[in-house]
Amino acid sequence: MPVIIGRRELIAALGGAAVWPLSARAQEGGRKYTIGIFSAGSEHAEIPALNAAFFEALRELGWVEGKNVAFEHRYAENRHERLTELAADLVRRKVDVIAAAGTFAPLTAKRATATIPIVMTAAGDPLGSGLVASLARPGGNVTGMSLMVPDLGAKRLELLKEVLPRLSRVAVLWNADNPYSVLVI
């Protein structure tokens, strides 16, 4: 039976997951923690409302930018060859946690560090791509949320056929380098 949650609950969960590694140290008082925001995409291509809700959820949890948390934003601007360099920069800066969007960013972050906690947001197939050892017990330093919904490919085609009943051919474009693409096609 599927569990349905609202957008605010999802954002709060993601915010909580991002700061969870920091919460055990929150009593240290006065220390400012650093969260690395890491994406293969562009800052402007990210969904502004989703980003705003994420930062609002962090504030509601007591994490205020400039007071007890700072953010280091790294966007590859869809130039995947930059991911390794950007992940290495976050590691050099000794961020406390990396919030990595999509599949490529968390994969690259995982290759860059085995000690800094990584919270994946919207990763494709975390098990098949090697991000985690198992869904029940991820192991290592990667945790978070996945978009693992390979059954949606067929549903999308059904919906398309309902909307366009005379449709006889469909072309599909995908990124062959993304391990998740194979699952949804």
List, edge to edge, every strand of the sheet that includes 118-123.
Answer: 69-75, 33-39, 97-101, 118-123, 142-146
Positive or negative: CA dihedral 130, 136, 138, 143? positive
Helix H or strand E segment including 69:
strand 69-75
Instruction: Give the whole-angstrom CA distance, residue 90 versus residue 164.
Output: 47
pLDDT for the residue 30: 78
Say what angle helices 48-60 and 7-23 make with each other, to 10 degrees. Answer: 50
Proportion of the chain above pLDDT 90, given as a percent: 39
Q: What is the pTM of this model?
A: 0.72
Q: Is 69 in contact with 103 (CB distance < 8 Å)?
A: no
pLDDT in tens, 140-179: 999 988 876 666 677 778 888 899 889 888 887 777 776 6
Say what angle helices 104-112 and 83-92 make with each other, to 10 degrees. Answer: 50
Q: What's the DSSP call for residue 138?
A: -
pLDDT in tens, 50-95: 678 888 888 999 999 999 999 999 999 999 999 999 999 999 999 9
- Token pair in block for residue 33: 């923690």
In b/e form, how buried is each residue of 101-129, taking b as 16+ CB within 10 angstroms? bbbbbbbbbbebbeebbbbbbbbbbbeeb
- Token pair in block for residue 161: 């056929």
Instruction: Give me the amino acid identity at 184.
Output: V
